[in-house]
A and B are shown apart, each in its own frame.
Chain A
Amino acid sequence: MLPFFLEVGAEEIPDWMIPAALEQLGKDFQAVLDGHKLGGTVTRTDGTGRRLVLWADGLIVRQADSEEIVSGPPKGANPKAVEGFAKKNGVSVDDLQVETTAKGEYFTFRRQVAGRATGELLAELLPDLIQKLNFPKSMFWTGKGGPKFIRPIRWIVALLGDDVVGFELAGVTSGRETFGHRRLGSRAAIPVTIAGYESALEENFVIVSSAARRAKIEREIQALGAVQADAKLLETLTFITEYPAAILGGFDASYLTLPKEVLTMVMRFHQKYFAVSAADGSLAPNFIAVMNIPSDPEGHVVRGNERVLRARFNDARFFYDIDQKRTLTDRVADLANVTFQAKIGSYLEKTTRMVALAQELGGEDAAAAAYLAKADLTTEMVKEFTDLQGIIGGLYIAAQGGKAEVAKAVYEHYKPLSMEDSIPSTATGQALALADKIDTLRSCFAVDMIPTGSKDPFALRRAAQGVVKILMEGELTPSLRELCAGDAKLEEFFVERLKHYFREVKGAAYDEIAAVLAVGWADVKDALARLDAVTAVRPTPNFEPVAAAFKRIKNILTQAGTLPEGAPDASLFNEAESGVAAAAEQAAIKDGGYAAQLERIAGLRPAIDHFFDEVLVNDPDPVVRDNRLRLLNQLITEFSSIADFSEIVTKSL
């Protein structure tokens, strides 16, 4: 049994691609071990931007010998053919066997296949395995048509036990030599063994374990100040460093007069710093940076980063001051020159439509907010920090003496940005967010810009999902159908989004969702209440049998074709029919909410079962038959306001 080790040394791989590449490397290598019966298990993958590393253990030295059965001509075949078959396999006819298969008797030859040495086999397979790692955007570096990888491969360590698994890839020959930290490690190649690999690299300022790097960063950050947990930034820093260390820097408190959103954005996104909180929760004039060297005894790195941040904050202040020279209200007219979408028109036109819609949905404040909502697109700050659109608008409205309600609505109007994000916190904000998203959807659908498959350049699915979430969780209750303004494709699109919401957020089953939406979806909160009731009552013993019975009734009614009009005549009822009618009257009581109503409907089961046991709907007497159809139709109509039971998938049918 032998351990195996692989390190692919490359120029700096983008941090966010590394975890996925390592996962694939582990899976693919395990598949090679399994597929070629080499024994062994991948025990670990890990790495940094400059190395993808894999460890495996328990590989056998050589594949077991095996026997391969080669089938030849049938027993009765021409002797020449048999001879030819033997010759082709390099043996005489005497070496062949006759074996019985399902199709008859055939000549076969049992070829003895010698197992191959594991190292030799891996040397053949590894170049392909490495090259087949998927990266979002790969490059060639040895010339046109050369091998592609995410960044140039510069060295490869491949060891099976103590031996090198030798192969060549992109002009690099695998060996036992690795390289340390770019500037702190040895400038010469470092020979390693599998057991000594990590400690050899540690001595050369590379912490191979990403968990150890992450823990080191977390520990040091916590020692330096109070920061908000930021898993994404932590992950970036873990994979962009080989020997991370955190340092605390500061900036002049006068910059704290700038909006904290801007300061945080600069620190977080532009500089990859953690912002530090003061004791009262406000922003402290400090930041924490993570370097790729162990310490900064002379303070060079802190001073450098402080200088850069100062320049960035100065820029932000410059933008802020320039922006204040014109109010957002004055900027609205400029939106005529900002294209929303070439086929649809300018942001000024969009603004006009949004104002009307917001007025309808949320009144005066919402309309006032809609008028200003897009004006920040003309500010220097948003041109520089695009992700702050909306937020900057809200901050400027507040700074320019606008109404707090309006400012807040504009600030939050891009929300929710995802299914996890919260919706705008005020009714005015919800009205504005709805107006914005609905307008985008209507306009795009009107010019046939409809998402297909994975293509959704205008993020219309996200917009529609946002609308659904706001309607579900917010205070406003407009009809979703009316919001679609008669666009059938948009209605269909929204029904899909509703299904998605019910499935992903509420965890409901497909058939329950279909049953509820078949009855109606314009009032989304009502649809949700009905769905909750169906989900709650479904496990009770009578529910599915009743659903099955309803499906049966529906089939009968469909087969009957044109249904007789009017209510059933009770005087014609037999005992079973009277039983159903009486039970239906009881079940039709509307109090107690949807779940209680559903339970009562489920309670119809004994009466309906009895009815079908005793009664043949298609009675030879057309009067009796029509009366029965009337009774069943009434039943279906009466009890299909919560859900269409025929959509429920039941075991009994």
Chain B
Amino acid sequence: MDSFQETVFKLKKYWADRGCVIQEPYDIEVGAGTMSPETFLRVLGPKPWRVGYVQPSRRPADGRYGDNPNRLYKHQQLQVILKPTPKDVIDQYLGSLEAIGIDLSKHDLKLEEDNWESPTLGAWGIGWQVMLDGMEITQFTYFQQCGGMDLDLCPAEITYGLERIVSFLQGKESVYDIDWAPGVKYSEVRYFDELQLSVYNFETADVEMLWEALKRHEAEAQRLVDGYKLVEDPAEKRRYPLLGAYDQVLKCSNLFNLLDARGAISVTERVGVIGRVRKIAVGVAQAWVDQEPFRTMKEVA
């Protein structure tokens, strides 16, 4: 029986063999693998791209102090982007399940309609949740829009819920009982993240500080987005730090989630804050598309 890490190795190898760049997780806290610039920015524009990476994903409101066997504050997603989508994409995906030891002739696999939408990213797609013996193991999405724009190519996004798949493979009732490495349980690796960060997210995070930080990161992102519009020189455009602006967007998104978990955002405020984050996310995406030709040109001597 493969350990958690062994399964991750196999999936990465599987997709590496199919032409994917295997990336490491993005180093800013995100709520989902989609938010990593490897997905959010790379799906934009006409350039083909294939990438796979594990992204630890933080969902403060889902924290359960390490008590719930199936819900986690931070879970690991394995994210694969295939842009453009190969015709046999679903066969390739099914092959990845077989590669980690799931005999699909003996298990019930269904693709059930499940379209995905992220109002904060101005993104949506059409797809399925993949059900294996009644359990959702993967979200499969054909990206249609990102940053409020139709996508030139239509990438497939495959998001594996690693904890679910591995607890299925290992036959474990609780995520914490998963063998992460031979002889090392998931709980030994992650339990205190769950406990202490649940305490922080739900009980002790300084609401005033979070609001202030949100405001400042938002202002910084907006400053950069606005600044890009004033740049005319191609060389200046090429080096303009839109990636820096996007990092600020990610900070805002996480701060929003923290405030939400803390119960600090009223229902009426909620829509407004989502709109603010969306505005800067869409702003960066549009600028990023505009910058594409300048990034492609050779560095000015």
Real binding pair: yes
Chain A residues with CB under 8 Å of chain B are 11-12, 14-15, 49, 137, 139-144, 146, 151-152, 154, 171, 182-184, 240-241, 271, 273, 289, 291-293, 296, 298, 300-301, 303-305, 307-311, 314-315, 318, 337-339, 342
* Cβ contact within 8 Å between A304 and B126: no
* Cβ contact within 8 Å between B107 and A300: yes
* Cβ contact within 8 Å between A342 and B268: yes
* Cβ contact within 8 Å between B152 and A318: no
A154–B113 Cα distance when bound, in Å, is 18
Is the C-beta of B22 less than 8 angstroms from some C-beta in chain A? no
A142–B144 Cα distance when bound, in Å, is 11
* Cβ contact within 8 Å between A308 and B113: no
* Cβ contact within 8 Å between B134 and A309: yes
Chain A residues with CB below 8 A from B106, complex form: 293, 296, 298, 300-301
Chain B residues with CB below 8 A from A143, complex form: 84, 152-154
Is the C-beta of B196 less than 8 angstroms from some C-beta in chain A? no
Is the C-beta of B206 less than 8 angstroms from some C-beta in chain A? no
* Cβ contact within 8 Å between A304 and B69: no
* Cβ contact within 8 Å between B153 and A339: no
* Cβ contact within 8 Å between B126 and A137: yes
Shortest Cβ gap from A138 to chain B (Å):
8
A-B contact list, 30 entries, CB within 8 Å:
A11-B90, A137-B115, A139-B126, A152-B85, A154-B87, A171-B87, A182-B90, A182-B91, A182-B94, A182-B104, A183-B104, A183-B105, A183-B109, A240-B112, A273-B134, A289-B134, A293-B106, A298-B106, A300-B107, A300-B133, A301-B107, A301-B108, A309-B134, A311-B70, A314-B69, A315-B68, A315-B71, A337-B266, A337-B267, A339-B268
* Cβ contact within 8 Å between A318 and B68: yes
Chain B residues with CB below 8 A from A142, complex form: 84, 154
Shortest Cβ gap from A309 to chain B (Å):
7
Which 7 residue pairs spanning A and B have beta carbons closest together?
Answer: A304-B133, A14-B113, A291-B108, A305-B134, A12-B111, A139-B126, A183-B104
A171–B84 Cα distance when bound, in Å, is 14
Chain B residues with CB below 8 A from A171, complex form: 87
Chain B residues with CB below 8 A from A308, complex form: 133-135
Shortest Cβ gap from B191 to chain A (Å):
18
**Given A182-B94, A240-B112, A293-B106; 18 other pairs, CB 8 A cutoff:** A11-B90, A12-B113, A14-B113, A140-B144, A143-B84, A152-B142, A171-B87, A289-B134, A292-B110, A296-B108, A301-B106, A301-B133, A304-B107, A311-B70, A314-B70, A315-B71, A339-B266, A342-B268
* Cβ contact within 8 Å between A304 and B132: yes
Q: Among B71, B105, B115, B266, point to the contact of A293 (Cβ < 8 A).
A: B105
Q: Among A141, A289, A310, point to the contact of B154 (Cβ < 8 A).
A: A141
A357–B135 Cα distance when bound, in Å, is 46
Shortest Cβ gap from A587 to chain B (Å):
62
Q: Among A141, A271, A338, point to the contact of B134 (Cβ < 8 A).
A: A271
A29–B57 Cα distance when bound, in Å, is 49
Chain A residues with CB below 8 A from B94, complex form: 182-183
Is the C-beta of B128 less than 8 angstroms from some C-beta in chain A? yes
Given known A140-B154, A183-B105, A304-B107, contact A12–B267 (CB-CB < 8 A): no
Q: Among B109, B128, B153, point to the contact of A182 (Cβ < 8 A).
A: B109
Is the C-beta of B173 less than 8 angstroms from some C-beta in chain A? yes
Chain B residues with CB below 8 A from A315, complex form: 68, 70-71
- Please indicate which of the listed interface residues B69, B106, B133 has the most CB atoms of chain A within 10 Å of its own CB: B133
Shortest Cβ gap from B61 to chain A (Å):
11
Shortest Cβ gap from B140 to chain A (Å):
9
Is the C-beta of B168 less than 8 angstroms from some C-beta in chain A? yes
Chain A residues with CB below 8 A from B153, complex form: 143-144
Is the C-beta of B203 less than 8 angstroms from some C-beta in chain A? no
Chain B residue, CB-CB nearest to A318? B68
* Cβ contact within 8 Å between A144 and B151: yes
A271–B91 Cα distance when bound, in Å, is 25
Q: Mark B144-159, 1 if CB is under 8 A from A, else 0.
A: 1000001111100000
Chain A residues with CB below 8 A from B68, complex form: 314-315, 318
Chain B residues with CB below 8 A from A304, complex form: 107-108, 132-135, 168
Shortest Cβ gap from B171 to chain A (Å):
8
Chain B residues with CB below 8 A from A137, complex form: 115, 126
A310–B134 Cα distance when bound, in Å, is 11
Given known A12-B128, A304-B168, A308-B134, contact A292–B85 (CB-CB < 8 A): no
Chain B residues with CB below 8 A from A140, complex form: 144, 154
* Cβ contact within 8 Å between A293 and B108: yes
Chain B residues with CB below 8 A from A154, complex form: 87
Chain B residues with CB below 8 A from A15, complex form: 113
A305–B168 Cα distance when bound, in Å, is 10
Q: Mark B57-84, 1 if CB is under 8 A from A, else 0.
A: 0000000000011110000000000001
Chain A residues with CB below 8 A from B126, complex form: 137, 139, 151
* Cβ contact within 8 Å between A307 and B173: yes
Chain A residues with CB below 8 A from B105, complex form: 183-184, 293
A310–B135 Cα distance when bound, in Å, is 11
Chain B residues with CB below 8 A from A314, complex form: 68-70
A143–B105 Cα distance when bound, in Å, is 33
A109–B168 Cα distance when bound, in Å, is 77
- Please indicate which of the listed interface residues A49, A152, A314, A339 has the most CB atoms of chain B within 10 Å of its own CB: A152
- Please indicate which of the listed interface residues A171, A338, A339 has the most CB atoms of chain B within 10 Å of its own CB: A339
Interface residues in B156-172 (C-beta closer than 8 Å to A): 168, 171
Shortest Cβ gap from B72 to chain A (Å):
13
* Cβ contact within 8 Å between A292 and B87: no
Shortest Cβ gap from B55 to chain A (Å):
23
Shortest Cβ gap from A141 to chain B (Å):
5
A293–B102 Cα distance when bound, in Å, is 15
* Cβ contact within 8 Å between A11 and B111: yes
Chain B residue, CB-CB nearest to A145? B150
Q: Mark B98-137, 1 if CB is under 8 A from A, else 0.
A: 0000001111111111010000000001101000111100
Chain B residue, CB-CB nearest to A172? B87
* Cβ contact within 8 Å between A144 and B107: no
Chain A residues with CB below 8 A from B152, complex form: 143-144
A638–B110 Cα distance when bound, in Å, is 70
Chain B residues with CB below 8 A from A292, complex form: 108-110
A154–B91 Cα distance when bound, in Å, is 12
A182–B107 Cα distance when bound, in Å, is 12
Chain B residue, CB-CB nearest to A236? B112
Shortest Cβ gap from A596 to chain B (Å):
58
